[in-house]
Amino acid sequence: MLSSEEVKKNAGVFAADLVKNGMNFGLGTGSTVYWLIRELGVRVSQGLEIRAVPTSAQTVSLALEAGIPLTDLDQVAQLPIAIDGADEIDPQGQLIKGGGGALLQEKIVAAAAEKMIVIADGSKYVSQLGRFPLPVEVIRFGYKQVMRRLLDAGICRSVKLREKNGTPFITDHQHYILDCQFDHIDDAPAINTFIRNITGVVETGLFVRMASSAIIGHSDGRVETINFR
């Protein structure tokens, strides 16, 4: 049986085959994408010509270290694909993302791509969303009002301001993140719409009708592709 990191590496290396010579593509964030970046760096050193639109400052740093040329959405006409990780993936292709705090830029890049491919280990593929806390990115001013609205609506069990080293976590775009704990999420589209309509909310970590497919690595060495649309 493979270790967790070996499983993630298998998925990342498998996904690298989707990035073709001359392609502009969205490059996600997270522990599985790390291995994709490493593999693409090797291929760039061997002559692969690509340009990546990164989804976070962390990805910028890793991609530059690997020698992957970068660009941004304002400089490209189209993105055939975006490849990113996820914290949870359900059988309908609905996702919870944002455990690393990059959900806003991840969603912008995913929305700009013709296809969003999710890469993850098998533990992220679940029968129903909701065990992983749902990240909600909010404006820092008046964030407690958003917390109150979420709790008063009764859609989640608890809401917690994300912290790092004892102080509020600040996203790349200078916002806070509220982590909303559910028992389970029955209607992801409705919850996504409700939360996004709360004044002060920037974006949610629910990715609905965005993923085209998922590449799932397993501990027995298999890499499985699941198509959603």
User: pLDDT for 60-75, tens place per residue?
Assistant: 999 999 999 999 999 9
| Pair (150, 61) in one structural domain | no
Q: What is the 3-state secondary structure (H, E, C) of 165-208?
A: CCEECCCCCCCEEEEEECCCCCCHHHHHHHHHCCCCEEEECEEC
| Pair (120, 217) in one structural domain | yes
Q: Report the candidate in 81, 80, 105, 110 with the shortest Cα–Cα distance to residue 95.
A: 110
Catalytic residues: 106
| Pair (54, 115) in one structural domain | yes
Q: What's the domain range around 155?
A: 134-204
Q: Which residues are annotated as a binding site for substrate?
A: 29-32, 84-87, 97-100, 124
In this predicted structure, the answer to whether residue 34 has a pLDDT above a threshold of 90 is: yes
| Pair (63, 160) in one structural domain | no
CATH number at residue 102: 3.40.50.1360
For residue 189, the model assigns a pLDDT of: 98
Instruction: Match 């909303």 to its residue by tokens.
Output: 180
pLDDT band at 35 (very low <50, low <70, confident <90, very high): very high
| Pair (37, 142) in one structural domain | no
For residue 213, the model assigns a pLDDT of: 98
pLDDT band at 78 (very low <50, low <70, confident <90, very high): confident
| Pair (171, 145) in one structural domain | yes
pLDDT digits 0-9 by tens, 128-159: 999 999 999 999 999 999 999 999 999 899 99
| Pair (14, 93) in one structural domain | yes
Domain count, the chain: 2
Q: Say which DSSP state 47 is in.
A: T
| Pair (53, 151) in one structural domain | no
pLDDT band at 77 (very low <50, low <70, confident <90, very high): confident
Q: Which residues are annotated as a binding site?
A: 29-32, 84-87, 97-100, 124
- Per DSSP (E only), the strands in 18-102 are 24-27, 51-54, 79-84, 88-89, 95-96
| Pair (9, 32) in one structural domain | yes
| Pair (75, 110) in one structural domain | yes
